[in-house]
């Protein structure tokens, strides 16, 4: 049985600012690309009547190992077997085993 701690692949990147005098498309700076674990946390807030959920990425990179730390608004792409999820960083939380990144998922509509 294979039960990998980081079974998914993800990419966190920052879009470069567009230069109005440059005809080229703005680029991106990749902050992290590699293995991760994407999961949902369910928490009860306030009076305990409403259950709220947040999306989290566990990444095996400790605080001092980041060249550039992710900020709110940086882009996230997660590949989970046969599907891809996209969103934006909401919070960056280093811990003893690596880093947890809370992110908001972009909703896509299907016709």
What's the pTM value of the predicted model, to 2 decimals?
A: 0.78
15-36 pLDDT tens trace? 887 666 665 656 889 999 999 9
Give every CB contact of residue 51 below 8 A, 6+ residues apart in sequence: 42, 43, 44
Over residues 82-101, the pLDDT tens digits come to 899 999 999 999 988 899 99
Taking 3-state DSSP, the helix, strand and coil percentages for the chain, each rounded to the nearest 5, stand at 5, 55, 40
Alpha carbon 102 to chain centroid distance?
7
CA 64 – CA 59 distance, rounded (Å)? 13
């Amino acid at each position: 049985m294979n039960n990998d701690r980081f079974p998914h692949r993800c990419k966190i990147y920052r879009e470069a600012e567009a230069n109005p005098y440059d005809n080229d498309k703005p680029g991106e700076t990749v902050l992290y690309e590699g293995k991760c674990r994407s999961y949902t946390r369910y928490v009860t807030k306030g009076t305990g009547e409403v259950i709220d959920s947040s999306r989290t990425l566990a990444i095996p990179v400790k605080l001092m190992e980041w060249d550039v730390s992710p900020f709110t608004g940086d882009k996230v792409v997660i590949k989970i077997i046969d599907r891809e999820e996209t969103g934006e960083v909401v919070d960056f939380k280093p811990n003893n085993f690596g880093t947890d990144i809370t992110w908001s998922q972009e909703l896509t509509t299907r016709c």
